[in-house]
Amino acid sequence: MAVSLSAASKGESLAQVDTPALILDLDVFQRNCDRLEQALRGRAIQLRPHAKSHKCPEIAKRQIARGAVGICCQKVSEAQVFADAGINDILISNEVVGDKKIARLCELAKSIHVSVCVDHLENASAINAAALAAGVVIPVLIGVEVGSHRCGVAPGEPTLALAHAIVQMPGLRFQGLQAYHGPAQHMRTQEERLTAIGRAIELTKSTRDLLASHGIHCTTIAGAGTGSFLIEAASDLYTELQVGSYIFMDADYARNDWQTSGMPRFEHSLFVWTSVMSVAGDSHVVVDAGLKASSVDSGMPVVADYPGAKFVKASDEHGVLAVDPKQMSPLPLGTKLKLIPGHCDPTVNLYNELIVIQNNAVVDIWPIAARGALL
C-alpha cells in the first residue's frame, strides 16, 4: 500500500491535527505515572505494567526507565513487537496454546527473558516439548482462578497437581502464580473491590502455602489492575503488579468510586480527537468518530470539556451528540473536540499512531506498533 497518512506532523498545533486521531496528553500521562509511583512508595513490590493497554514501545520504554521490571503482554505476537523494540523482559500473562504460537514463544526465548502462564497439564507438556526441542527453558506461572471466571486452574489441590508436573519438566522453570481478578477492577465501590480481592488473596495465599508445604516455592505472585492494585500491594503476598490503564484512565474506570478508596485519582490522558462534520439536524450534531474510532464495549465515549454535549449513538464512522441548548451554544461545523474513550485498550487497538500533545502542540508521534498483534 503506497498510501500512508498521518493525522499530524510534529510542531503542528492541536487544532491542526486531522480527525479522528488518538491523542495523548503527555503532561497528564507523566502525572499519572508519578501518582502510581507515589502510591507504591515504600512497598517492596515490583511493577510490570500491562502493554496490552498501550501496544506502544515508546510507552513501555518510559515505564521501564521509571523503574518497571519489564512488561506484560497477552499474545506472543505482541511480545515479539516489543522485543523487537528492545524490551527484554516480558511476561505473557496469558495461556499460549497451539503449535505455531508455542514455536514462536520458544524462538523469542532465545533472545529475551519471556515467561508465560499455563493452566492445563497438556499445554504445559506441549510447551515443555517445544522448549526442549528449541534448547530453551521457559519460566512459567500457573494461572489460578481467583474470581475472573475465565482462564485459570482451581486454587489448592488442582494447582498443586499442575505444579508437581511442571517442576518435573526440564523445559520449564516453575516461577509462581498468576492470580488476576479481572471483574474486581470495574466494581464500582471500594467495599466490593476489597471483598473480591480479599477472597483472591486468601485463595492465592493458601495455594502458595500448600505448594510450599510440598517443597514448591513461588518466587513470583503476579496480578492486579488499575482498579485494585493498592489492595494487592498491601497484601504482603503479591510480588508484581500488572496495572495497565492507569496511564490513560478511560471513562469506564472513571466511574469507579475513587474517593473512598485511597486510590490515586488518575486523570484522563487519552482522547479521541474528532470534528463536528454535520450540523444539519435540529437537536443533534454528528462527529466523525464512530465504532471504528472508539470502542463502545464499555459504554459510549464521553465528550470532554462540553458538559452540555452527550455522545448518544455510534455507527461505523459517525457519532451522534445530543446537545442541550440550555447548557451550551450550538457547536459550529468543523469544531474539533475531545472524546474520552469508554474503554482504552480496544480503542488504542484501532489506531496506528498516538499523537503526543504538550501545551496544545504535537511534540511527538508514537507508533502503536503492536496494534493488531492478535496471534
154 scored as a contact of a copy of itself (CB under 8 A): yes
Of 314, 339, 356, 357, which lies in the binding site for a copy of itself, with binding defined by CB under 8 A?
A: 314
**DSSP strands (E only) in 123-232:** 138-143, 172-178, 220-223
Pairing of strands 319-323, 309-314: antiparallel
Comparing CB distances to a copy of itself, the nearer of 152 and 171 is 152
Of 139, 182, 299, 308, which lies in the binding site for a copy of itself, with binding defined by CB under 8 A?
A: 182
CA distance linking residue 50 with residue 91, whole number of Å = 9
How many Å separate Cα 121 from the centre of its chain? 28
Q: Cβ(199)–Cβ(187) under 8 Å?
A: no
**Distance of closest approach, residue 143 Cβ to a copy of itself, in angstroms:** 8
What is the separation, in whole angstroms, between the first and last Cα of the chain?
A: 22
From 12-20, 63-71, 169-177, 232-240, give the range in contact with a copy of itself by CB under 8 A: 12-20
Of 132, 194, 291, 365, which lies in the binding site for a copy of itself, with binding defined by CB under 8 A?
A: 291
Cβ contacts of 298 within 8 Å, gap of 6 or more: 186, 250, 251, 252, 342, 343
Of 152, 225, 227, 301, which lies in the binding site for a copy of itself, with binding defined by CB under 8 A?
A: 152
CA distance linking residue 365 with residue 101, whole number of Å = 31
Torsion-angle region of 201 (φ positive above 0: left; ψ -120 to 50: alpha; else: beta):
alpha
Of 101, 205, 268, 338, which lies in the binding site for a copy of itself, with binding defined by CB under 8 A?
A: 101
CA distance linking residue 144 with residue 39, whole number of Å = 27
Q: Cβ(367)–Cβ(14) under 8 Å?
A: no
CA distance linking residue 281 with residue 372, whole number of Å = 36
Comparing CB distances to a copy of itself, the nearer of 40 and 227 is 227
Of 2, 213, 259, 305, which lies in the binding site for a copy of itself, with binding defined by CB under 8 A?
A: 2
Residues within window 38-97 making contact with a copy of itself, judged by CB under 8 A:
52, 74-75, 77, 80-81, 84-85, 94-95, 97
**Distance of closest approach, residue 174 Cβ to a copy of itself, in angstroms:** 17
* Cell 500521562 -> residue: 29
Pairing of strands 284-287, 270-278: antiparallel
From 63-71, 120-128, 171-179, 197-205, give the range in contact with a copy of itself by CB under 8 A: 120-128
From 33-41, 192-200, 216-224, 279-287, give the range in contact with a copy of itself by CB under 8 A: 279-287
From 24-32, 167-175, 219-227, 278-286, give the range in contact with a copy of itself by CB under 8 A: 278-286
Count of residues that bind a copy of itself according to CB under 8 A? 75
Of 139, 156, 308, 367, which lies in the binding site for a copy of itself, with binding defined by CB under 8 A?
A: 367
Q: Strand, coil or helix: what is 345?
A: helix
Residues within window 322-361 making contact with a copy of itself, judged by CB under 8 A:
333-334, 343, 345-346, 349-352
Comparing CB distances to a copy of itself, the nearer of 138 and 151 is 151
